[in-house]
Structure formats: C-alpha cells, structure tokens
C-alpha cells in the first residue's frame, strides 16, 4: 500500500509501505477514505515526536470502510463505514468500557500514527485493534 511514512524530522515521504494485517481475532482492517492532519502530526514532522521510531505511517482520526474482520469481532462487519478516534485502549477495563481510553488501566493505550506500535491513517489501509470498542 501507499502511505505517508515518517523517516525523521521534516522527512515524511509518500511511499510504499507494508500492508496492515490482522494481529488478533479482535482486529479489523479499514480501507481509509479520509484522514485529518492535526497538531500531533505537525509535531512529528518538526521532529518533536512521541517516540524515537521511524518507518511508520503517520496520522489518526480516520474514516473508512471495513475490508477484513477478525473472527472475534461481533459489532462490526465487512462493508461497515467507521470513524476512528486517535486512541485505542484494552477494551476491557472500566475506563475503556466507558469510552475513556485515555484512562486505560492495563497499559493497552496506543495512538495511531505516533510510533511503530500502531500504524497511522495517512495510508490506504489501517489495522484497528479491539475493533468492537
């Protein structure tokens, strides 16, 4: 797939990148239709990143269509249109169940496009962990 890949301060390139793959039965793959650029992306571009990683697609706050679904996903199906928030939690602790992933108690918190931990939405597709939440 093609995506905006971070290579260091002021070096984000539109290039080929590895296609996202389901990593767990609770994941989906979303074909990205649009993704915003926000202040976090600009911080990364200027070298004030959130990790020392390079080689990851940037971007969060995406919208798109589910094109692949893990076996344990129950609320969503292939063909559904979805909007992704910036953060993903474990999906099981109290705060996550209440929609407050920023307070995830298990350390499952990650944000799209801030490091290699979870690829971003400035790409043709994105893996969404814990898709039912």
Check: pTM over 0.75? Answer yes or no. yes
Q: For the residues 83-91, what does the mean pLDDT come to?
A: 87
Q: Are strands 81-83 and 110-111 parallel, antiparallel or unpaired?
A: unpaired
Summarised one tens digit per residue, pLDDT across range 32-77 is 999 988 888 899 999 887 888 999 999 988 999 999 999 999 999 9
Helix (H) / strand (E) element for 66: namely strand 62-69
Question: Which strand (E) or helix (H) includes residue 3?
Answer: strand 2-6
- For residue 129, the model assigns a pLDDT of 92
* Residues 22-44: tens digit of each pLDDT: 999 999 999 999 998 888 889 99
């Amino acid at each position: 797939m093609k995506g905006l890949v971070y290579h260091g301060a002021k070096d984000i390139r539109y290039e080929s990148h590895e296609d996202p793959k389901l990593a767990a039965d609770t994941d989906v793959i979303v074909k990205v239709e649009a993704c915003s650029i926000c202040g976090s992306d600009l911080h990364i571009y200027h070298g004030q990143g959130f990790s020392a990683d390079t080689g990851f697609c940037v971007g969060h706050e995406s919208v798109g269509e589910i094109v692949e679904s893990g076996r344990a996903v129950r609320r969503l199906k292939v063909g559904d249109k979805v909007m992704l928030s910036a953060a993903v939690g474990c999906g099981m602790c109290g705060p996550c169940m209440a929609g407050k992933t920023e307070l995830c108690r298990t350390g499952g918190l990650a944000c799209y496009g801030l490091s290699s931990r979870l690829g971003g939405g400035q790409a043709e597709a994105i893996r969404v962990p814990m898709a039912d939440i």
